[in-house]
Structure 1
């Protein structure tokens, strides 16, 4: 059986924290998604979450979104 070590770094911790905050906000507003909210484009929490997702993907290396 292979030994799989799970490494949680600072970016994943930040992402998990913001995801939890985002879900709490959605629950408080009784939304299943941020897209249901009238603050969708102006929401600072959502903007921070999107940045955290990107940083978690690139581990702080910077750069742009490249697909």
Structure 2
């Protein structure tokens, strides 16, 4: 969220991917992705990692906006 507490497109995408990741873990009966056989080639996890980075950097390359 930005300073005003309003969600931007990066925060919304992050939340969507977080839910998608949790659903996948629940379906497979895993508490973490690291024990999944598809850990290194998982598209959902890859999208989640990118969404996390973009949410933190707000789409800018380089450092994070904390």
The answer, yes or no, to whether TM exceeds 0.5 is yes
| TM-score calculated relative to the size of structure 1 | 0.84
Other-structure match for 2:38: 39
Q: How many residues align?
A: 62
Other-structure match for 1:53: 52
| TM-score calculated relative to the size of structure 2 | 0.85
Which structure has the larger Rg?
1
Q: Which has the larger share of helix? A: 2
Higher relative CO (Cα under 8 Å, sequence separation at least 6) belongs to 1
Q: Structure 2: where are the runs of 5+ without partners?
A: none
